[in-house]
């Protein structure tokens, strides 16, 4: 925030002649004037990512012993990628480290939602709903964010947010209109059949009519933008790369969606998690490839893009009895995109000594993930300071973290 405030102020002064104004509307004004067309992509990593495995705190004296046989280091055949002298990045994430060097990636460490129990499904519900506790699955924070986008901005006029994959994730469910798209593997259905079915649904089943209409609309854009797109491969990396490639094309289109959510499964590494190579390494390589697909596919729009990859909670600091990690608390969030003021770690490091761990087992969460997300929504999507509290109810203690966006 600090970096773009002076610029916005100058502009505002010219227009208003120095009148007082609510500063929270400032970025909104500035954005409208410079005609940005921002993109925002949320990737949910289901299963709980091991933040200490993905972004090892190499400089913490307790780390190597706690993570034991799967701990990473800056030496050896596959060394971790240095970030800032204290933290390093998993060697699988070569694209992310490049973006970090180009100030287009930020990593938040020791972060978590307000959820402090260890159920995946409640944890994901809290992560995606944006509520302070479990049990609310009526709407997701990204959907509520869409519903309070400032009127008149280009993004608000760009239609519905996009859920990628066979099912719409909770983060995008709710009152604001959402659509879904998944790559096709069967021959196309005749338009005529679709139209007859739609007419039948309009008479007999309004809910299915709505769903089918959206399906037909989004497929039209997809087919136009991506002739011959087909999912390929069955491996972990392709399973993330393929939907990202398709979603990037939709988001890049002039009349395509501007906001999207994807979910990648498989992060629940209880056994044989692996270190520089192995299961987690594969998963991180997939995520890294997906981010690279967004960068490539969005082209010129990448400079106005933010991708966030978030997970329901972290994993135990200490390796368990099966060379994996059990459900924990604090973890990392990855931010990537040309709109970021990147190249930095955001971490209030709690330490890893026994008494510094949460319940003596997990990395403590010292940064509220909601503060990060709120900061992004405010500065990147120009959501007002009053509206943002409705997007993340009961989160006033987690003040929006400013300065993430260039």
Partner 1 sequence: MAADSTQQALVALNRFGFGARGGNSGDLAAAASDPRGFVLAELTSPRSTRLENPILHSTDALLSELYGLQQQERAYRIAVNQQSANQQAANGQVASEPTETPAPQPFAPLPPQPNFNVIAERFRAEALARIQRAHAPACGFVERLVTFWSNHFCISAIKGPGVRVTAGAFEREAIRPHVLGRFADLLRAVEQHPAMLFYLDNAQSIGPNSRAGQNGKRGLNENLAREIMELHTLGVDGGYTQADVTAFARIITGWTVVGPAARLGTPGTFTFNANAHEPGAQTLLRKTYAEDGVAQGEQALDDLARHPSTAKFIATKLVRHFIADDPPQALVDKLANVFRDSDGDLKAVSTALVNDPLSWSTPLTKIRSPYEFLVASSRLFARTPDQPQRYLGALALMGAPLWQPPGPNGFADTNFAWATPNGMKARLEISNQIAKRLGNLTDPEEALDAAAGAAASADLKQTIGRAESREQAIALVLMSPEFQRR
Binding residues for partner 1, per CB under 8 A?
A: 46-47, 69, 117-122, 134, 163, 165-168, 173, 179-182, 184-190, 192-194, 196-197, 199-201, 203-205, 207-208, 211-212, 214-215, 218-219, 265-266, 268, 270-271, 320-324, 326-327, 359
For partner 1, give the closer residue by CB, 113 or 168: 168
Task: Show the tokens assigned to 99.
Answer: 């973006």
For partner 1, give the closer residue by CB, 159 or 403: 159
> Measured from the CB of residue 149, what is the shortest distance to partner 1 in angstroms?
21
Q: Give the DSSP letter string of 209-232.
A: HHHHHHHHHHHHHHHHHSTT----
In three-state secondary structure terms, 364 is coil
Place of tokens 């694209």: 95
CA distance 122 to 143: 19
For partner 1, give the closer residue by CB, 249 or 327: 327
CA distance 354 to 374: 31
For partner 1, give the closer residue by CB, 9 or 210: 210
> Measured from the CB of residue 55, what is the shortest distance to partner 1 in angstroms?
24
The alpha-helical segments, DSSP class H, found in 329-396 are 369-380, 385-391
For partner 1, give the closer residue by CB, 236 or 333: 236
The pair phi, psi for residue 283, each rounded to 5°, is -60, -45
Task: Show the tokens assigned to 153.
Answer: 């901005």
For partner 1, give the closer residue by CB, 20 or 355: 355
CA distance 370 to 223: 36
Nearest to 328 by CA among 47, 42, 125: 47
Query: Other CB atoms closer than 10 Å to residue 9's CB: what's the count?
Result: 13
């Amino acid at each position: 925030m600090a970096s773009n405030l002076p610029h916005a102020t100058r502009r505002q002064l010219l227009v208003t002649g120095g009148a007082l104004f609510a500063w929270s509307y400032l970025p909104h004004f500035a954005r409208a004037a410079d005609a940005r067309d921002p993109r925002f992509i949320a990737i949910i990593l289901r299963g709980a990512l091991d933040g200490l495995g993905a972004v090892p705190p190499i400089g913490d004296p307790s780390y190597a012993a706690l993570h034991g046989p799967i701990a990473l280091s800056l030496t050896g055949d596959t060394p971790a990628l240095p970030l800032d002298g204290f933290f390093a990045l998993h060697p699988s994430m070569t694209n992310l480290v490049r973006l970090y060097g180009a100030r287009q990636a930020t990593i938040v460490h020791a972060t978590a939602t307000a959820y402090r129990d260890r159920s995946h499904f409640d944890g994901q519900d809290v992560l995606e709903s944006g509520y302070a506790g479990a049990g609310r699955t009526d709407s997701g924070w990204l959907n509520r964010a869409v519903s309070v986008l400032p009127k008149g901005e280009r993004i608000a006029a760009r239609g519905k947010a996009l859920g990628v994959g066979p099912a719409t994730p909770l983060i995008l469910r709710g009152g604001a209109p959402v659509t879904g798209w998944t790559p096709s593997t069967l021959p196309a259905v005749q338009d005529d059949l679709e139209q007859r079915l739609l007419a039948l649904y309009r008479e007999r089943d309004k809910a299915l009519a709505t769903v089918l209409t959206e399906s037909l609309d989004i497929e039209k854009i997809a087919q136009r933008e991506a002739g011959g797109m087909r999912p390929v491969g069955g491996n972990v990396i392709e399973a993330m790369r393929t939907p990202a490639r398709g979603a990037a094309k939709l988001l890049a289109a002039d009349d395509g969606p501007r906001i999207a959510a994807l979910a990648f499964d498989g992060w629940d590494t209880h056994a044989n998690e692996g270190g520089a190579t192995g299961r987690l390494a594969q998963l991180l390589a997939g995520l890294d490839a997906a981010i690279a697909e967004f960068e490539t596919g969005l082209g010129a729009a990448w400079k106005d893009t933010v991708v966030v990859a978030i997970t329901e909670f972290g994993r135990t600091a200490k390796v368990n009895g099966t060379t994996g990690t059990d459900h924990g608390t604090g973890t990392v969030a990855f931010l990537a995109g040309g709109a970021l003021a990147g190249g930095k770690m955001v971490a209030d490091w709690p330490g890893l000594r026994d008494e510094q761990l949460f319940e003596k087992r997990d990395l403590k969460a010292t940064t509220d993930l909601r503060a990060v997300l709120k900061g992004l929504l405010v500065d990147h999507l120009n959501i007002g300071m009053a509206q943002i509290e409705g997007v993340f109810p009961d989160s006033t203690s987690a003040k929006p973290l400013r300065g993430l966006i260039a």
